Amino acid sequence: MTKKIEKTLYSIVILSLLMWGTGLINIVEAKPGKGNQGQNQANNQGEDQSNKEHYRKRNGGQEKITICHFPPGNPANVHAITIAMPAWAAHQRHSASGDYNDFICDENYPNKKCGDEGDYPGISYCDDCTWSDCVATEYCGDNKINGFEGVEECDGNDPQNCTTNEGYDGTSSCDACIWSNCESEEYCGDGTTNGNEQCDDGLNGSVTCTNECTLIYMDFVNIGIVSSETDHNLDGWTDLWTWGGGYGGGDDGSLRLLMGPGDGCSEIYESASLTLDAGTNYANEVTFRHLDGSADDSFDVYINNTLIGHYTAGLQGEIWVTSTFNFSSTTGEFTIKFVATEPSNNWCTGWGQVAFSWIGI
């Protein structure tokens, strides 16, 4: 009996030596004490199984791969071993039923995506059954807007056009992949009416223009504000604007239109009017704020039924415009009338057309 056992053990030793000699199995290095850190790492490896050709090695004609092996019953003793490719299926089967999964590990090939907790995605490398620090594959300055959501607004040296809170045209630069504040060379006092200005007569203003670039009026109506409209004899205007919609931001939040809800859109030449009073002064200029909208918002302007000018719509979207027209000097009360010169659009009955925010002399 003893001789039979000795013969069996002798055969096992001989077989093991033959397998080692032919390269069927080769233990690379044991790294005890890795604990449970391999569990989550291993769970990320399923996606890499389809790429296992990258991990194969040629050694004396035998295809091999290096894996991180969690010994059943002793997962803390995780260690790297190099096995013949056909043995990989057996390792997958025995590890799939437990809490620890063997996974392919090759220090020369990236094998796990990472970076979920940072700003950019990256690659982590498997080195002796431990993951390297996450190496980002994207960065600010690579001339691509990338990274996780909200990380980059821009990337590069090209500026973008912008508009300041005062309505001035300007540019914004890309600073650390975030757009800088809008900067403009326009300003109140530069002698040019631009942005949200009503006028611009220089830094010191004038008798008709303040140094804040607002007009000094003999009479003024904030259209859509009932208290301001009182005693100005409004006629032909729509209801107060309360039905929502864009309207270029609504300007100051109050407006009426030449046609639309409360007034209708059936006529080709819709009109609306109001009166202004110069008192004992002589008025010769009228300024008003109106919307150049998505439809054709062209119109004529009349003072006491005399045509003084025409506005041609730019059809560039929802843009509020300040227009000024001159007329023969007039004293006392007079009527200003606006007449639409283009047919109403098909959405006019619900949304209206040719909007006005204020008017003054």
CB 156 within 8 A of CB 175: no
Q: How confident is the model at residue 109 (pLDDT cuts 50, 70, 90)?
A: low
177 and 289: one domain?
no
Question: Which pLDDT belongs to residue 253?
Answer: 78
Tens of pLDDT, residue by residue over 246-286, are: 776 777 778 898 888 888 887 667 899 999 999 998 888 99
Where do runs of H (alpha helix) occur along the chain? 2-22, 37-43, 88-96, 226-229, 348-351
User: 22-31, 111-120, 225-234, 254-263: which has the minimum mean pLDDT?
Assistant: 22-31
Question: Which pLDDT belongs to residue 302?
Answer: 97
Question: Which pLDDT belongs to residue 272?
Answer: 93
- pLDDT over threshold 90, residue 179: yes
Higher pLDDT, 22 or 156: 156
Whether 133 is in a domain gets the answer no
Whether 148 is in a domain gets the answer yes
Percentage of the chain surpassing pLDDT 90? 27
Question: Which pLDDT belongs to residue 38?
Answer: 39
Question: Which pLDDT belongs to residue 117?
Answer: 62
Whether 190 is in a domain gets the answer no
324 and 347: one domain?
yes
Percentage of the chain surpassing pLDDT 70? 73
**What whole-number distance in Å separates Cα of residue 84 and Cα of residue 75?**
22
176 and 224: one domain?
no
Question: Which pLDDT belongs to residue 32?
Answer: 36
Measured CA angle at 123 (ends 118, 124), to 5 deg = 95
Question: Which pLDDT belongs to residue 50?
Answer: 37
**Side-chain half-sphere of 353: how many Cα atoms within 13 Å?**
28
**Side-chain half-sphere of 285: how many Cα atoms within 13 Å?**
10
146 and 123: one domain?
no
263 and 294: one domain?
yes
Tens of pLDDT, residue by residue over 53-105, are: 444 444 445 578 777 787 877 777 877 788 888 887 877 776 655 556 667 66
- pLDDT over threshold 80, residue 194: yes
Q: Which of 222, 311, 299 is CA-nearest to residue 259?
A: 299
Question: Which pLDDT belongs to residue 349?
Answer: 83
Question: Which pLDDT belongs to residue 174?
Answer: 93
Whether 204 is in a domain gets the answer no
Higher pLDDT, 12 or 220: 220
- pLDDT over threshold 70, residue 220: yes
147 and 65: one domain?
no
User: 12-21, 82-91, 285-294: which has the minimum mean pLDDT?
Assistant: 12-21
Q: What is the mean pLDDT of the chain?
A: 77
Three-state SS sequence of 2-27: HHHHHHHHHHHHHHHHHHHHHCCEEE
Whether 194 is in a domain gets the answer no
Question: Which pLDDT belongs to residue 255?
Answer: 87
User: 158-162, 204-208, 215-219, 286-290: which has the minimum mean pLDDT?
Assistant: 204-208
Mean pLDDT score, 286-291:
91
Whether 195 is in a domain gets the answer no
88 and 175: one domain?
no
User: 1-5, 17-21, 97-101, 319-323: which has the minimum mean pLDDT?
Assistant: 17-21
Tens of pLDDT, residue by residue over 297-353, are: 899 999 999 999 999 988 777 888 889 999 999 899 999 999 999 888 888 888 888
254 and 163: one domain?
no
Contacts of 274 (CB under 8 A, 6+ apart): 221, 223, 229, 232, 233, 234, 235, 237, 335, 336, 359
One-letter amino acid identity for 35? Answer: G
Q: How confident is the model at residue 19 (pLDDT cuts 50, 70, 90)?
A: very low
The boundaries of the domain holding residue 35 are 2-127
Mean pLDDT score, 184-207:
84
92 and 45: one domain?
yes
CB 32 within 8 A of CB 79: yes
Number of structural domains found in the chain? 3
117 and 15: one domain?
yes
Whether 207 is in a domain gets the answer no
Whether 205 is in a domain gets the answer no
DSSP 45-91: TGGGGGGGGGG-EEETTEEEEEEEE--TT-GGG-EEEEEEGGGHHHH
Q: Which of 125, 171, 178 is CA-nearest to residue 147?
A: 178
146 and 40: one domain?
no
